[in-house]
Amino acid sequence: MAISGHIDNDHGVLILSGNLPDFDGFDDFAQRLLAALDIRIVSKAFGADRHQWQLEFEGTELTLHFELYSGSIWFELKDSSEPQLLSYFATIIQQSEL
């Protein structure tokens, strides 16, 4: 199954679904995902059951989240005034072969 994204405009997030990685596979998956989207990694943080990466895309700050127990991966805009960026990411993700 391919990866797809669902936009939640109320919360300024793009929720990924499909063939998502487990905790150990997240780093490799995220590196490929961010390369496909041309997003720069600013910093990485992780704990026992989650990853949280601070990112930058053409001056816009966002965060990539991964939670092990819910099996969730999502992008969150720091400033939700640019929801069209999430639509752009969703389109690129659906066209990619991640």
- Beta-bridge mates of residue 74: 15, 65
What is the per-residue pLDDT for 1? 47
What is the per-residue pLDDT for 90? 94
Mean pLDDT of 17-25: 92
1, 28, 86, 91, 92 from 12: Cα distances, Å: 25, 25, 8, 16, 18
pLDDT (tens digit per residue) in 51-90:
999 999 999 999 999 999 998 999 999 987 788 999 999 9
Q: And the tokens for 31?
A: 């590196």
What is the per-residue pLDDT for 10? 84
pLDDT (tens digit per residue) in 38-47:
999 999 999 8
